[in-house]
Amino acid sequence: MRDEQLLRYARHILLDDIGIEGQEALLNARVLVVGAGGLGSPVCLYLASAGVGHLVVADDDTVELSNLQRQIMHTNDRLGLPKVESARQAVAQINPDTVFVPLARRLDAQALREQVAQVDLVLDCCDNFETRHAVNQVCVELGVPLVSGAAVRFEGQVCVFDTRLATSPCYHCLFPQGQEVTPTNCATMGVFAPLVGIVGSLQAAEAIKVLSGVGKALVGRLVMFEGRSTRWHEVKVPRDPECPVCRDRAEPSIEPSAKA
């Protein structure tokens, strides 16, 4: 680690749980972020500031005026730019050492598999169930941890799915595909501006914990936040032994105590 990096990440290094070893793990990490909007904004900014070495960010949208109410990575002078290009500029201003790979497109099944195969962790910051299930499917197949977040109106939630662990559920265990679920998105239902910051920041924290091996990640636990009353609620999410997505996965490669 260079002298400049020792200074930049000093407050992490001073934490016994992280230290030099944990910070070097972050510097060597490669992460895929699916979505560069409300959740992707704090995720990208905090992961870059924390020293994650490689960020691959996929989003096929452009910056619009209505985004600026909550998507803090984007600015008025970048209206009309692809969100991933706006994100690249924002990340470069915070940490020029972070290698940023912009993917200005929606990832099809093959492209998604190619990208997930190259990373250590995936963050689901998208806004639709179809993409969430596609990302989950590939993460289970390739044994890559997934940090999932969602936020709409005044409600948000975060969960970690790490199917390297024998007891970890997958996203399908929690929200089975094909189940009758009413589509929700902020374009039609609205969203409390700070909510995406709260949820996205928690996603970033969980990602950093998993990558550096710190603490107890939200594996098998769904944390929900209600903004009107400022209340947190946690529920256990068991693995479904009959889940068609994760029931036949390979034997776990790490012990539960290592990351959860």
Instruction: Catalogue the active-site residues.
Output: 186
Nearest in space to 38 (alpha carbons), one of 77, 67, 75: 67
Please check whether residue 18 is in contact with residue 10, taking contact to mean a CB–CB distance below 8 angstroms.
no
Measured distance CA(259)–CA(219) in Å, rounded? 9
- Could you tell me the two tokens for 171? 């996203």
Q: What is the largest CA-CA distance in the chain?
A: 54
Residues 12, 22 contacting (CB under 8 angstroms): yes
H or E element, residue 57? strand 54-58
Number of C-beta neighbours around residue 2 at 10 A = 8
- Sheet with 54-58, strands from edge to edge, namely 99-103, 54-58, 30-34, 121-124, 146-152, 155-161, 221-226, 231-236
Please name the residues in contact with 62: beta carbons below 8 A apart, sequence gap of 6 or more: 80, 81, 82, 83
Which has the closest alpha carbon to 25: 45, 9, 7? 9
3-state class (DSSP) for residue 123? strand
